[in-house]
Structure 1
Amino acid sequence: MPFTTTVLSITTGSEETVTDLTSRCEDFLARTAQGADGLLNLFVPHATAGLAVLETGAGSDDDLLAALHHLLPADDRWQHRHGSPGHGRDHVLPALVPPHATLPVVGGRLELGTWQSVCLVDTNRDNPVRQVRLSFLS
């Protein structure tokens, strides 16, 4: 099929998280790509979450959250004020960590570098469940 899509439901909980989606992307491609070349598009339909391609497990995910804390402090400077204190920063996050990513698929497999993972970045502690749309275009 030239275009296939599905929606993942990801529970991120009440803490800021970087959630590795790589295995879920690979599972989706194993079912849908069937050895084809194409593009995997990911999209997060939320105003307070984003997607990043980065190394995980060696501290980079924690470093990303620390950098976001430095750039976007959770304090009362934000004009957008509903939700948890500092929640306005969560609405700025997608300008720095976009809610979309498009990645190459070769031979039905995700073409990532050795240390790269596809991750959902969620700093919004008020929304514990996120949706991520995966779409494969061959």
Structure 2
Amino acid sequence: MKTIQQTLSLATRAPIELIDITTRVREAVTAAGFREGLVTLISPHTTAYVNLNESESMLQQDMLDFLQKLAPRDRDYLHNRAPVDDRDNAHAHLIGLLMTASVSIPLVEGRLLLGAWQSIFFIELDGPRPARQLHLHLLGQV
């Protein structure tokens, strides 16, 4: 078995944003040359996550609307009274309770084993941010 670790860099432009990173992950897998294995993605952030879902524009708008209503930014959250980095981002941490920081995807015959409608999303909940990261860990064999 061989392992490869990379960090994908992203910049986000909106307070809450869904970024389809499927192509970038596929490119990393192709470059590694693995035929079989496992791809794990992990966000090192507490207000940005990774998720598998459908990449359809109206559904993505529904997702954004849902997340904004789930924990509105303008509420009087205790965390916002003494923010760590001068950002009122309690809403982002609360929404994050329902998300995952990592996903693992099997690699079969050189391809990500995703469902027909599945795409990989980086989900920003506290943007915009000029520098976000997503760690990519490949474990496999040629």
Fold-level similarity (TM above 0.5): yes
The 5-angstrom pairing of residues 36-51 of structure 1 reads 36-51=35-50
Of 98, 108, 111, which aligns to 2:110? 108
Q: Structure 2 counterpart of 1:11, which letter?
A: A
Q: Which runs of 5+ in 2 are unaligned?
A: none
- Residues 47-97 of structure 1: CA distance to partner in whole angstroms, max 9, x if unpaired? 101111111133222221111112111123321113444x21112233212
Partner of 1:120: 122
Match of 1:24 in 2: 24
Name the residue aligned to 1:8. 8
TM (norm. structure 1) is 0.89
SS in 1 for 2:78: coil
User: Is the alpha carbon distance of 1:95 and 1:19 closer, same or farther for their aligned partners in structure 2, counting shifts above 3 Å?
Assistant: same
Q: Tell me how large the CA RMSD over aligned residues is.
A: 1.6
- Inter-partner Cα distance in structure 1 for 2:96 and 2:16: 14
Q: Could you tell me how far 1:128 is from its partner in structure 2? A: 3.1
Instruction: Normalising by structure 2, report the TM-score.
Output: 0.87
Could you tell me whether the CA contact under 8 Å between 1:13 and 1:129 is conserved in 2? no
Q: Which residue of 2 aligns with 1:96?
A: 98
The Cα of 1:13 is off from its aligned counterpart by 1.9
What is the SS of the residue equivalent to 1:59?
helix
**Identity in percent:** 29
Post-superposition shift, 1:126?
4.9
Count of residues in correspondence between the two structures = 136
C-alpha deviation, 1:35, in angstroms? 4.2
User: Structure 1 unaligned runs (5+)?
Assistant: none
